[in-house]
Structure 1
Amino acid sequence: MASLILLPSTSDAFKAYKPSKNAHADFISAVDLSRGGRGSGSKEIKTVRLNVAAGPSIQPAKDQLTTLLSAIPELLSGKPTIKSYHLLSHTCHKLVLQPHTLGPTIYERVKEELEKSASTLAREWRGSIMTREGGWLAKLVDGWKRWEERVNLLSAVFVYLDRVYSNPSNGIASIAELSTATFGRLIWENELIFQKTRDEVLAWATREREASSSLADQRSTITALSSIAKLLSTFKTLSEPYIDLTTTHYQENASPLIESVEAGSASAAKYVGWVLEKVEEERERATVCLSAEVAGEAVDTVRRTAGQEYAERVVRKALDESMDSADTAALGRLYQFSIDVDSFALFSKSLECHLEDRLKTLISDPKNDPQMIDGTLKLKRFADEAVSSLFKAEPTPSKVDSVLEGANGLKSQEDKDNKGELEFKKVNRNRQFELEEAVRTGFKAGLGSRQNAPAEWIAKHLDVAMRKGQGSGTEASFNAHLDEIIALVGFTKDKDVFKAFYSTQLAKRLLLSKSASDDMERNMIVKLQNGELTLRISAEMGEEYTSGDVMMKDLQLSETLVKSYQSAQAKDPEHFKDAGNFTANVLTESAWPAYPLLKDGWNFQLTPSLQSSIDAFTSWYATQHKNRQLSWRFQLATVTLSGRFPSGRYEIGVSLFQAVVLLLFNEEDSLDFAAIKQRTGIESQELIRTLQSLSMGRKGTRVLLKKPPGKEVNPTDVFAWNKGFSSERIKFKINQIQQDMSAEESKKTNEQVAIDRVSVLEATIVRIMKARKKLSLQLLIDAVVSDVVKRFPPDVKEIKKRVESLIEREFLMRDEEERGVLHYLA
């Protein structure tokens, strides 16, 4: 493209040009070629010829240097330069190259002027500080920005100085680096200025902490100041005092709060929440205004000074408050607190001790016995749910531990993140297991603080559950409830006590048809024997629950036997005319609880009709099983009577003892206590309970009247047929008091357990000595304890008594030389 203007090689056309006072802002506007012409589309070109006279000769290098150096203070002060920036940059370019090589000279002048400018600024700011002018940090930040802008302009104009002379290859700092160092040395490190800056930063931090909120109008200044300090490589001069202040602040504030917690005027759980809240406040403040590293230090400081140092004094109290109020959110905060302050072991131990102490309080008072298991199960449910809730959503770790690389290293950051996540999950699983174990240990210790009673009441609670069945609930929820009860069995030390009561109550449910479902009973027996949730119990108790299987089989065989008896009655009704409608359960004595014969205080006499029924069945059974002998137990027998009253006819379900008493009133309208006792032969206490149930039971079951009225039965009381009896139901049962686990029966069961323990100890001692032949007393005691502890807590004194008894009975003998050594005698 052809030029619009052809310029000669020399010209004096612009000799009258003088730079403006604002040379640093000069610019040349583009010429609008379309003005006065034919338009941009015209092909004609107007040629202008200029005759330019020769100009003055080139300025000497010395003068160029003077011009260049004189511009430095103007650039640093923000004043306009006499020469344009382009000319100054071009001049710098020429002077730093050969043949002039004036780079060192120019660099030294730049250095001097930077120091002068910084010194001037320092004096100005010191004066401002001494006169106590406000807004110091904003002034410092604004001053730095102006300084930075002017240094950047200086660097741009003297760009060739940095490229040729002051560059990394020469080991000389650039103008920007030099200016930063100068500012730091003469201004930042000035004692008065630095002290004022540091004090203002710390004062800002204190104001935010006291207000517990961010001061948005000041944060931008603090953030800018942090950036300046980082650029000057003096950030630690701010961060270290900041962390020191953080330490002091939380030491001063945490101590009185802890004292209030210990005095009972403040909540430990709220203190834990306060620490967690302050951790997040410090993290957010330092991250936004200082740096992530300082945020980490600040967080660690809060956790150490307000958390770790007081963990021993606050964790247990906070856990007690959270558990007592069933506050899972508070418990979750305490768990996070314990992790943050490296006190998880203390948290776990506190949970264990809390459960132990709470259970001890619950079961230590016999008045709480009826509510013991309900309270224990409620606590167990909450403890399990609380522990589970801590790990439902795995949080992102607040601080990820360094991950060791393998032999081949990790290929990418993603690999590191994945491995870190796996490690975090592993740690979480271990923590969950530890807390679950703490719950189990706490329950074991708590339930073990009272002998026998917890195991007995667990069995009673199970009995009630098996009688009620699932009700309106689901099968799954009922099975879950049974699993909860079995878990408590695993926590008790007196498992033999539970077995004794469970077997007794199972027998009653089966014999009296009180169980909600036979299938549930079988399921329960399986659970106790080898269910997944009762693996611990199974391993400890072995085949102790096989008697339940035998009971169920006995009842099935009895059902078959009764059907055979009924068939025999149908075939020969004349022979069985006095047998009546009779059924019997023929049981294996060794598999069922020991039901004693009616001896002391008893002279029991059945009515002729009832006795004939038993005699008929006994005779028939003898023909079926010649080598077997029946031994009758009347304690659990039941009878269905047909009662005729003026109000109508009723079908009444009663116990055998109740039936014998009621049948007396077919012959007499009234009888006194002594007469009833003489005719029935029922033991006094049993007769009292029987008469109470017939005359003082619930409304609609009082078929007898007592004179005089009252709750107690006395030997002089008279009982009469209730002619005015009426009931809304045609068929009903009169509660059989003797079917419930009375205090007397409970006492007898515990006494039988104690006798059985003696037998178990002696059998264990003999078995061990038979295998070892010779053993020291201490080793024998240890072996016996290890063996029987799975069933009940052994008493060392009792073991020694059993050893002495076996020596007297010549099962064992002492060594003649070493009295502490025992020998087995074959």
Structure 2
Amino acid sequence: MSSLIILPSHTDAFSAYQPSKNAHLDFVSAVDLGRGGSSSKKDGIKTVRLDLSVKSAAPPPNELLQSLLSSIPSILSGAPAKESYHALSHTCHKLVLQPHTLGPTIYGRIKDDLERSANGLVREWRGSIMAREEGWLGRLVQGWESWEKRVNLLSAIFVYLDRVYSNPVNGISSIKELSINTFRKVIWENEIILEKTRSEVLGWSTKEREIEGAMEDVRPTIQHISTIAKILDTFTESIQNPYIELATEYHSTSAEEKVKQVEGSSNGLTASRYVEWVLEKVVEEKERADACLDENVAQQVVSVVRKEAGQNVAERVIRTALDESMDSQNFESLSRLYTFSTDIKSFPTLVTSLEDHLESKLKALISDPANDPQMIDGTLKLKRFIDKAISNLFEPAHENAIEEQDKKDQKDVIERKRLRRNRQFELEEASRTGFKKGLGSRQNAPAEWIAKHLDLAMRRGPSLSDSEFNSHLDEIIALIGFTKDKDVFKAFYSTQLAKRLLLGRSASDDMERNMIAKLQKEMGEEFTSGDIMMKDLQLSETLVKTYQSIQAKEAEQYKDAGNFTANVLTESAWPAYPLLKDGWNFQLPSNLQSSVDLFTSWYSTQHKNRQLSWRFQLSTVTLTARFGSSARYEIGVSLFQAVVLLLFNEEDTLDFNEIKNRTGIETQELIRTLQSLALGRKNTRVLLKKPPGKEVNPTDVFAWNKGFTSDRIKFKINGIQQDMSAEESRKTNEQIHIDRVSVLEATIVRIMKGKKKLSLQLLIDNVVSDVVKRFPPDVKEIKKRVESLIEREFLMRDEEERGMLHYLA
């Protein structure tokens, strides 16, 4: 038959057992079969007979009760009991059941003895505290462990008391619960003991914060104290709350001191280092609380650090830290700043700071005209850095890590991804807004220098790969989108594109077409003039081939035509190149003039209703030259340079005035031409100037450099003003102003023609919204245009309501 009770193979219930003097009476003594026992076999059955001593009659209940009660102090003091634990447990069982029902008496005695034992510990421990003995927390832990061990033994012996009397059904605390309550009320809540315990725990946390490391020898004791406080149900008020209050005070004070150092730039503490310090403190505090207290305290103390050292000083730290990270272009520092701002719930401050930083940085860069040549390079460098920095913050790898970590909670994963996307969009939008405000702080200049930067890039072409060059072009287009003066960019871009195409300065026609397509896609159809320019050159190439075939067929008629090519351009699609008027009396040499005349005559036979208007300032010539007895050279020059050099076929020396009179070139243009021929790079100085000097004066004399030599047989002599001159820039800006006036008037007339009748304010609003994509309209200028149109009788004011305008058909 199987046993009704399954006993455990191992138990600690009686680990504190100490045998009593009468323990032998608790066991049944078997009679030695050799001394009185007998056995016999009958029918195969073995019989065993035991002679047992007859026990005396059971003691009366009062005696049993006194024996039981007298054992309680011994158990609580750790001394041996008079009776065995088995006998005591059996006695308790008998007395708490019917008919005795002495449970209340036994329970009351246990309660009194627990309090006496606790009071004894209090007296002992108060004395050690008052004596300022070392190692208080360790002594408390040891005392608790002894108390708990003895109470466990007491609870095991009086187990039937808990089952019958002190149980939840009767609403009476068990022996363990009673012991915990007693320890809490008598010992733990003792003012001196509690204050000492709290002081020691807080002192440990302060010491670890000061040394910025873990006190490994103390931490196990702190863990035990935390466990005791939780068992006593006093952890929150005795440990947790004081710990959080101290952490709050510490980090509030420390943060204020460090922020003042940052603001005062003292001790070399930077805002970026402060951010790093806060993140380190978050990790440090969380690790300490997780290891020694619990997860809830860790969460609270992390919130304290982020609030006191982060959120409360965010406005004083984030902008400075961002400036430092951006100026040093430190990706890691920016990443820490992003983590810091999101952790302390101050991400909007970071967004605003980024926008303000970019705006102020660009304002400082473009406000000084001395920085104009470096303006776009600096702007692009800044944009590349911030674009890469934002991209690094939101790399897909980070999102995959989040998804892997939280794949069990898909809703949380989706929410995190959404939050990250929103944050990335906010930073990108702040970047765009900052660039727009910064580039918009100075009128016209950024758009002009973007066009000049693009011109330089298109001349040089790709230095590494086509993909990188295309990326660079995309960056330039992005800058164009940030500027308000898109018409300024268009004007300068068209002018420089024309120069590149006509003078053969472009690195690649395919790249030019690619750029035109990009501009049309991003900026609109107003950039279609670039297509027309490219088509004009293609048509001109075909035209020249036709002309050259006619020359070959009719060689005698075109014997003076020379190796001549011409680009026939659509005037409306190209920049308005002026005719040579004021200060010019330009005269082509006879051989060049005959080439022009023959082509003009032939072209008139092909297109009778068209008239050619020559722009000699865009012409180039290839000359064959010999200097003394040196070899022949092929020199690429401008038409004005060629006209000057051809004079030296007749004369070896000429002064400035003679050259001017013979060529008819305007004075300033002649000065630039002579500078390029006599004062350019050393290997291109085909003329000599007397007296020497960097400036060309009317009294200077120029001579053919007979001793000139060059390592290259073919070379070019670039003009001194290879890029757009200041005068050209000024004229372009003047033309832009004129064009804006025309655009405003055309827009006003178009709107009024559609509306017929409109108030002045609504007309201004409509005009602004219509032209703002091309340039920032000035309301005062719009009102001037309205007045001008009224004077010219395109519009009229309402006779009764002066603020109302009518369109006059």
Report if TM-score (shorter chain) is over 0.5.
yes
Is contact 1:22-1:80 (8 Å) kept?
Answer: no
Q: Does structure 1 residue 434 correspond to structure 2 residue 435?
A: no
- Is 1:347 the counterpart of 2:350? The answer is yes
Change (3 A) 1:393 1:175: farther
**CA separation of 1:26 and 1:274: change in aligned 2, threshold 3 A:** farther
Is it true that 1:297 corresponds to 2:300 in the alignment?
yes
- CA 1:28–1:396 in structure 2 vs 1: closer, same or farther (change >3 Å)? farther
How many angstroms apart in 2 are the aligned matches of 1:630 and 1:27? 136
Structure 1 distance, partners of 2:31, 2:679, is 125
Q: Is the 8 A contact 2:31 2:50 kept in 1?
A: no
- Listed one character per residue, the Cα deviations across residues 268-288 of structure 1 (whole Å, up to 9, x for unaligned) are 111111111111111111111
Verify: 1:477 aligned to 2:478, yes or no: no
Secondary structure of the corresponding residue to residue 591 of structure 1: coil
The match for 1:279 is 282
Shift of 1:124: 1.5
Which residue matches 1:489?
480
Superposed displacement of residue 49, structure 1: 5.4
Q: 1:109 to 1:431 in 2, by over 3 A?
A: same
C-alpha separation in 1, matches of 2:315 and 2:410? 35
Alignment match, 2:578: 596
Q: Is the CA contact (8 Å cut-off) linking 2:31 and 2:51 kept in structure 1?
A: no
- Residue 100 of structure 1: SS of its match in structure 2? coil
Q: How does 1:312-331 map to 2 (within 5 A)?
A: 312-331=315-334
Letter in 1 for 2:761: Q
Q: Alpha-carbon deviation of 1:759?
A: 0.6
Q: Which residue of 2 aligns with 1:467?
A: 459
Cα distance in 2 between the residues matched to 1:30 and 1:560? 132
2:545 aligned with 1:544:
no
The equivalent residue for 1:39 is none
Distance across 2 between alignment mates of 1:204 and 1:705: 89
Counterpart amino acid of 1:113?
A: D
> Is 2:352 the counterpart of 1:361?
no
- Asked whether the equivalents of residues 30 and 52 of structure 2 are also in contact (C-alpha less than 8 Å), the reply is no
Amino acid paired to 1:549:
D
Report the alpha carbon displacement of residue 48 of structure 1 after superposing the two structures with TM.
7.6
Q: How many angstroms apart in 2 are the aligned matches of 1:766 and 1:450?
A: 30
Output the CA distance in 2 between the equivalents of 1:395 and 1:95.
69
Question: Equivalent residue for 1:261?
Answer: 262
1:210 maps to what in 2?
A: 210
- 3-state DSSP of counterpart to 1:357: helix
How many angstroms apart in 2 are the aligned matches of 1:419 and 1:501?
A: 53
- The 3 A distance-change label for structure 1 pair 295 and 825 is same
2:505 corresponds to which residue? 514
Matches within 5 A, 1:312-711: 312-392=315-395, 417-471=409-463, 473-530=464-521, 534=522, 538=523, 542-646=524-628, 647-711=630-694
Aligned 8 A contact 2:797 2:803 in 1: yes
Any idea what the Cα deviations from partners look like across 1:530-586, whole Å, max 9, x if unmatched? 1xxx4xxx3xxx211100011111111111111111111111111111111111101
Aligned-residue offset at 1:86: 1.1
Tell me the amino acid that sits aligned with residue 63 of structure 1: E
For the residues of structure 1 that align with 2:790 and 2:25, how far apart are their CA atoms? 119
Describe the shift of the 1:804–1:154 C-alpha distance in structure 2 as closer, same or farther (beyond 3 A). Answer: same
Change (3 A) 1:682 1:22: farther
Give the Cα–Cα distance (whole angstroms) in 1 for the partners of residues 74 and 719 of structure 2. Answer: 115
CA distance in 2, matches of 1:226, 1:609: 107
Runs of 5+ unmatched residues, structure 1: 2-17, 34-43, 401-412
- 1:739 Cα offset (Å): 3.9
1:376/1:334 Cα in 2 relative to 1: closer, same or farther (>3 Å)? Answer: same
CA shift in 2, pair 1:393/1:619, >3 Å: closer
For residue 437 of structure 1, give the secondary structure of its aligned residue in structure 2. helix
Structure 2 gaps of 5+ residues are 2-17, 34-43
Inter-partner Cα distance in structure 1 for 2:477 and 2:31: 100
C-alpha change, 1:398 and 1:515, in structure 2 (3 Å) is: closer
Residue aligned with 1:482, SS? helix
Find the aligned partners of 2:351 and 2:279 in 1 and give their Cα distance.
19
Coordinate RMSD, CA, aligned? 2.5
Residue 321 (structure 1) shift:
0.9
Shift of 1:101: 2.1
- 8 A contact 1:359–1:376 mirrored in 2: yes
**Residue deviations 1:183-238, cap 9 Å, x none?**
11111111111111111111111111111111111111111111111111111121
Percent identity between the aligned chains? 72
Q: Is the 8 A contact 1:24 1:85 kept in 2?
A: no
In structure 2, C-alpha distance between the alignment counterparts of 1:279 and 1:817, rounded to whole Å: 73
Per-residue deviation, 1:394: 6.5
Going from structure 1 to structure 2, the CA distance change for 1:601 and 1:639 (only over 3 Å counts) comes to: same
CA distance in 2, matches of 1:28, 1:259: 83
Kept in 1: contact 2:399–2:417 (CA 8 A) = no
Query: 1-side partners of 2:29 and 2:597: how far apart?
Result: 137
Q: 2:80 is matched by which residue type in structure 1?
A: P
Contact 2:540–2:566 at 8 Å: present in 1 too? yes
Residue deviations 1:67-91, cap 9 Å, x none?
2111111111111111111111112
What is residue 796 of structure 2 aligned with on the other side? 813
The alpha-carbon distance between structure 1 residues 396 and 211, as it changes in their structure 2 partners (threshold 3 A), is: farther
- 1:774 matched to 2:753? The reply is no
The CA distance in 2 between the partners of 1:26 and 1:117, in whole Å, is 29
Higher mean Cα deviation, 338-347 or 124-133?
124-133
Task: Assess, with a 3 A threshold, how the Cα gap between structure 1 residues 750 and 29 changes in structure 2: closer, same or farther.
Answer: farther
| Residue aligned with 1:544, SS | helix
Question: 1 CA distance for matches of 2:709 and 2:395?
Answer: 60
Q: How many residues align?
A: 778
Q: Deviations over 1:444-468 (max 9, x none)?
A: 1111111111111111111111111
Cα pair 2:355 2:434 within 8 Å, conserved: yes
Q: Which residue of 1 aligns with 2:39?
A: none
